[in-house]
DNA sequence: CGTTCCCTTGACACCGATCAACTCTGGTGG
DNA sequence: CCACCAGAGTTGATCGGTGTCAAGGGAACG
């Protein structure tokens, strides 16, 4: 899946593809709510999400938590440390998750040999950056209602890109507290927003499944324009 | 300067260095408040800031503006489009600025030939990403006072990295409105925060020059930890 | 059948937005 | 050299969106 995602950027050489496949064979299971990588770590391996949900997060001095990204299958967690030295944030499994580990020395070697692969990783980083910018807009210039709407549109689009949306429904195993930590709100307020979105028949959210009932209205509510995701999927 | 910055990541081959230098020779002057690149553009050239200040920004449907990054000399503006296709945000000159333009086809070619160069660009992107995450924390989990303090710490650190700080002072040609657009606040409120910071003798800000009078206290106020900037400067 | 999360609800407080003047500064032209 | 002007900074009064605190309800799980 990760390979498929990278190839959206540029075709890889067969040997790159093969090397990646082999290297992805080290698979690890992480229980829910456990750190995959912690802030300050200097990990030996870089990780790819294969299944489940994860989140990047930072803790502020007063104890508050800010989630800066949600990770879904196909996302890499920390290719950073192939280039930078140290994790400047933590990564958490939100559900039980399975991740692939690649010894970073091997990855390093691979990427120095193959411009195409490095370029593909660079591409993935650039898309992540675009998502971060969208979050900044969310936090800075949208009210809570618009922010929740926008977040749901983003997650819907990203899940659809990897084939995990069926008839407008997707698994969304996020507590309201997690959502509030992503949007800079309180759980209480998120709860009220969700009720409003439900009462307006924009969404349905029950037992970890989100269904978008009125995509157009939700996108309007969140000022969502999918262009920034730079999806280059067949059929999009 | 840009080359020097890239070399903080990893030494480049002499021919890369030379190629970059040649290619940077196309220099353009941009008047203040003019777009360098606009959202939706598909520019022929990629740009590097050589002098002056710039900002990435997005406009939300209701007319609000959110600045997602400040660009200072040595920052690249839009290496994106070497990999992605379209600008998902605009870039604005905040002061009169001089930028270098590199035809993106040439850059493309260069980066496919040199893994080291691509890697260096990737590194620069990763640092940018870390800055974006810090902004998200700023917007989501800090009050206005902490956010302003943190922003000033960041800009101080980045300006120092490129040698543009003298005795705690740096040029900061940002109106209060620009600052408010970066922090998701209103100009009025930014004004009040600045007065507080001044009255507490943490900073001095007058006619476009910021002086940090009490770095330790300002860092405490903003919960600032420079680790995320991944500065690898001699003497740091 | 109890325990533990999580979700839900209500009352109230507060940070920052809004609106509307007023002041200051630097630049421009007479 | 002065008068004017536009843009930026400053100030005060009031409003509203979210936070805070606290209590109660529901569903999953042992």
Q: Which residues of A touch B130 (CB under 8 A)?
A: 84, 88
Nearest to B129 among A9, A85, A125 (CB): A125
Q: Where are the alpha helices (DSSP H) in B104-143?
A: 104-113, 115-141
DSSP-derived pairing of the beta strands A90-93 and B209-212 = unpaired
User: Between the CA of residue A106 and those of A22, A87, A101, what are the distances in Å?
Assistant: 11, 19, 11
Q: Tally Cβ neighbours within 10 Å of residue A60.
A: 16
CB contact under 8 A, A111 and B119: yes
Residues B54, B72: Cα–Cα separation, whole Å: 7
**Confidence band (pLDDT; 50, 70, 90) for B17?**
confident
**Using an 8 Å Cβ cutoff, are B195 and B202 in contact?**
no
**Confidence band (pLDDT; 50, 70, 90) for B70?**
very high
Pick the closest to residue B20 from B93, B96, B131, B124 (CA basis): B124
Residues 6+ apart with CB under 8 A from A22: none
- The 10s digit of each residue's pLDDT in B97-120 is 999 998 888 888 888 888 888 888
Interatomic distance A132 CA / C26 C1' (Å): 39
Q: Which residues of B touch A223 (CB under 8 A)?
A: 60-62
- Chain A CA closest to residue B133: A68
Residues in chain A where the model's pLDDT stays below 70: 1-2, 8-10, 24-25, 232-236
Interatomic distance A62 CA / C14 C1' (Å): 18
Residues 6+ apart with CB under 8 A from B1: B50, B73, B74, B162
pLDDT at B19 over 80: no
Residues B150, B220: Cα–Cα separation, whole Å: 9
Helix (H, G, I), strand (E, B) or coil at A232: coil
pTM, 2 dp: 0.94
- The 10s digit of each residue's pLDDT in A96-111 is 999 999 888 888 888 8
Q: Tally Cβ neighbours within 10 Å of residue B213.
A: 14
pLDDT at B54: 98
CB contact under 8 A, A111 and B115: yes
- The 10s digit of each residue's pLDDT in A57-92 is 999 999 999 999 999 999 999 888 877 879 999 999
Residues A226, A232: Cα–Cα separation, whole Å: 11
pLDDT at A8: 66
Residues 6+ apart with CB under 8 A from B106: B23
In this complex, the nucleotide whose C1' atom is nearest to the CA atom of residue B187 is D9
Joined together, the tokens standing for residue B219 give 């860092």
CB contact under 8 A, A140 and B183: yes
pLDDT at B197 over 60: yes
Q: Where are the alpha helices (DSSP H) in B32-171?
A: 104-113, 115-141, 144-161
pLDDT at B235: 34
* Partner B contacted by A22 (CB < 8 A): no
Joined together, the tokens standing for residue B104 give 């993106």
The secondary structure element, H or E, covering residue A67 is strand A65-71
Q: Tally Cβ neighbours within 10 Å of residue B44.
A: 11
DSSP-derived pairing of the beta strands B45-51 and B97-103 = antiparallel
CB contact under 8 A, B60 and A85: no
**Using an 8 Å Cβ cutoff, are B203 and B179 in contact?**
no
What would the mean pLDDT of B167-184 be, rounded to a whole number?
Answer: 97
Residues 6+ apart with CB under 8 A from A226: A153, A157
Residues B162, B155: Cα–Cα separation, whole Å: 11
pLDDT at B233 over 60: no
pLDDT at A6: 72
- Chain B CA closest to residue A119: B118
CB contact under 8 A, A137 and B66: yes
Joined together, the tokens standing for residue A11 give 């075709």
Interatomic distance B70 CA / C27 C1' (Å): 27
Nearest to B227 among A69, A88, A121 (CB): A88
DSSP letter (8 states) at residue B12? P
CB contact under 8 A, B136 and A139: yes
Q: Which residues of A touch B119 (CB under 8 A)?
A: 83, 111-112, 118
């Amino acid at each position: 899946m990760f390979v498929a995602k990278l190839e959206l950027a540029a075709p890889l050489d067969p040997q790159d593809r093969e090397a990646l496949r082999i290297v992805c064979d080290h698979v690890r299971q992480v229980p829910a709510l456990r750190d995959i990588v912690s802030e300050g770590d200097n990990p030996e391996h870089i990780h790819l999400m294969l299944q489940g949900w994860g989140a990047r997060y930072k803790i502020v001095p007063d104890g508050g938590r800010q989630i800066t990204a949600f990770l879904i299958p196909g996302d890499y967690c920390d290719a950073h440390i192939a280039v930078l030295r140290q994790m400047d944030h933590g990564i958490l499994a939100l559900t039980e998750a399975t991740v692939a580990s690649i010894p970073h020395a091997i990855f390093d070697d691979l990427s120095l040999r193959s411009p195409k692969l490095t370029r593909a990783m660079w591409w993935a980083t650039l898309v992540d950056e675009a998502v971060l910018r969208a979050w900044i807009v969310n936090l800075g210039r949208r009210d809570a209602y618009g922010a929740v709407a926008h977040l749901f549109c983003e997650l819907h689009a990203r899940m659809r890109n990897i084939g995990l949306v069926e008839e407008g429904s997707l698994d969304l195993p996020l507590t309201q507290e997690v959502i509030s930590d992503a949007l800079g709100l309180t759980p209480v307020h998120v709860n009220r927003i969700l009720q409003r979105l439900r009462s307006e028949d924009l969404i349905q959210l029950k037992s970890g499944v989100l269904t978008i009932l009125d995509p157009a209205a939700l996108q309007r509510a969140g000022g969502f324009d999918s262009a920034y995701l730079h999806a280059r999927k067949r059929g999009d």
